[in-house]
Amino acid sequence: VIDKERRGDYLGKTVQVVPHITNAIQDWVERVGSMPTSESGRIPDVCIVELGGTVGDIESAPFIEAMRQFQFRVGHDNFCLIHVSLVPVVGAVGEQKTKPTQASVRDLRGLGLSPDILACRSAIPFAEGIREKLSMFCQVSPKQVFSVHDCESLYHVPILLQQQGIIDVLNERLKLKDLTISSEMRAEGDSLWAQWREFARRRARDLDEVTIAIVGKYTYLTDSYISVVKALEHAALNINRKVKLSWVEASDLEESSKHKDPLKYHEAWQQMCAADGILVPGGFGERGVEGKVLAAKWAREHNIPYLGICLGLQVAVIEFARNICGMANAHSTEFRENCDEPVVVFMPEIDRTTMGGTMRLGSRPTKFQDSEFARSSKIKKLYAGADEVHERHRHRYEVNPEKVKELEAKGLHFVGRDAETGERMEILELANHPYYVAAQYHPEYLTRPLNPSPPFLGLLLAASGQLDAYLAGEDVTHEVDTKLKM
């Protein structure tokens, strides 16, 4: 909207939330809804849009108004509103209360949106009469009121909704039966549903555990790493394993912690010793960096599968430069601006004084190098031999290209570089190691339950001792009947 105003598209008119911002939101939804989402290039028939927040919040007001207008733009049969609400269980007797849902529906109607479906979160299934009560006071048919109670896992929720008949409700509301669906698409859908049920079944089973130590800076709030956690879970279930997370505060691994808090220091190192694999995620600021460097060193020296993400790649480079290449003062200019041997530097095109909006963001292509090592690298094989991959980025610092030759000469190979210039190091892999891989991008952003991120899949396969068999083409889940498309 700002760009349009500066180009003069509005011819000097006053730019307002309504209609300019709301129109831009609607245009964005239509544009995204018409993008192909499958490998075949098919355009979706249905687009699901999540409108987060709480009804009545000032932050979400423009978006709610945009959706109010959007229902008329696309027509009644092309718009279905699912309202997610809470039915709390109150008191020692466990009585379910419908008043919060009644109030939120009333507020939503006051803003011009009437829900077609109620998805009611609760700790327990609906008690007798609750569905009928919600139907009566919220003006929604009983068959369009769904109990979304606590399940064994999040992956069971689609199965729960399907059992309550949501497919029939959506078919009727959006006239989906009028669509022409080929037999191939139906078979694909049936296969996908069977895979999803198998995935959920695995989540509920007692599978062999794989312990992964996450060495981070924000472990006191594990939701900071929710994308990483889900990526690990997706990868583990696809190989018929259950991931056990061991949270290690990076600063607790440092020598200073040994004197400051010996108990935490020894507990942290005990967790490292017990882990089947080590993951070092991204982060900002100097705190805990030396602990992450020590984690990378431990994984390298003891042949423990290692995956570094963003800062995790940079600390792996720092550690290798210090201990293998003899650069005793190697560091990142993010933490030591005038260090003698900068192996990680500020990206040259970024303004150091104006930090806002200057990160290297979004999906960018990474090209695998045409070298003997890169062609046979584990990470390229995990990407199914692709020459180029697109992954999402979020960083300001990168490996110093002037140090690359020296690092590669000692066995740290940068098998993937940016496709635009070839000067940015995107993926590294260490020679003669079970699995020592790091990426400058964030592969966890593109993980999917039935399509796990390749770097995470490699970490779980290596940590469970299955990587070589998988790369050789063997079926690592031969003991299960339903195969996931992995």
Give 144-203 pLDDT, tens digit per residue: 999 999 998 999 999 999 999 999 999 999 999 999 888 988 998 999 999 999 999 998
The closest alpha carbon to 279, from 331, 344, 326, 231, belongs to 231
CA distance 320 to 455: 20
Q: Is 267 a catalytic residue?
A: no
Residue 326 has pLDDT above 80, yes or no: yes
Distance CA(30)–CA(74), nearest Å, equals 9
Beta bridge partners of 216: 249
Residue that has been written with the tokens 């210090």 in this structure? 322
Q: What percentage of the chain's residues is helix, strand, coil (to nearest 5)? A: 45, 20, 40
CA distances 327 to 313, 355, 397, Å, are 17, 30, 19
| pLDDT of res. 348 | 66
Which amino acid appears at position 68 of this protein? R
The span from the CA of 235 to the CA of 448, in Å, is 9
- For the segment 389-400, what is each residue's pLDDT rounded down to a tens digit? 999 998 888 999
Most confident of 163-172, 281-290, 351-360: 163-172
**Confidence at residue 445, expressed as pLDDT on a 0 to 100 scale:** 95
- Cis peptide preceding 158, ω within 30 of 0: no
Active site residue 393: no
Question: pLDDT tens digit string along 431-445?
Answer: 999 999 999 999 999
Kindly tell me if the per-residue pLDDT of 481 is higher than 60. Answer: no
Backbone angles phi, psi at 117, to 5 degrees: -135, 140
pLDDT over threshold 70, residue 387 = yes
Quick one: average pLDDT of 224-253? 95
pLDDT tens string 251-279: 999 999 998 999 999 999 999 999 999 99
Tell me the H-state helices in 97-182: 99-110, 130-138, 157-163, 166-174
CA 405/CA 274 separation, integer angstroms: 35
Look up residue 467 and give its two tokens.
Answer: 């990587």
Active site residue 95: no
**CA neighbor of 253 nearest in space, from 295, 287, 221, 285:** 295
Q: pTM of the entire structure? A: 0.87
CB 272, CB 295: distance < 8 Å? yes
N- to C-terminal Cα separation, the chain: 41
Q: Provide the pairing of β-strand 412-418 with 360-368.
A: antiparallel
- Pick from 466, 451, 464: nearest CA to 37: 451
Three-state SS for 438? Answer: strand
Q: Who contacts 162 (Cβ-Cβ below 8 Å, separation ≥6)?
A: none
Catalytic, out of 290, 310, 408, 426: 310
**Mean of all residue pLDDT scores within the chain:** 91
Q: In what order do the strands lie in the sheet with 277-280?
A: 242-249, 209-216, 277-280, 306-309, 436-439, 425-430, 412-418, 360-368, 388-395
Cα dihedral value 218, 223, 226, 230, nearest 10: 120
Three-state DSSP state, 216: strand
* 382: CB partners within 8 A, 6+ apart: 454, 455, 457, 458, 471
Q: Is the separation of the CB atoms in 354 and 396 below 8 Å?
A: no
pLDDT, mean of residues 463-483: 81
The DSSP-derived string for 131-150 is: HHHHHHHHT--GGGEEEEE-
Q: Which amino acid is at 152?
A: E
Residue at 385: amino acid letter? G
Q: Answer yes or no: is pLDDT of 10 > 90.
A: no
| Residue 482 pLDDT greater than 80, yes or no | no
Distance in angstroms (rounded) separating the CA atoms of residues 453 and 189: 22
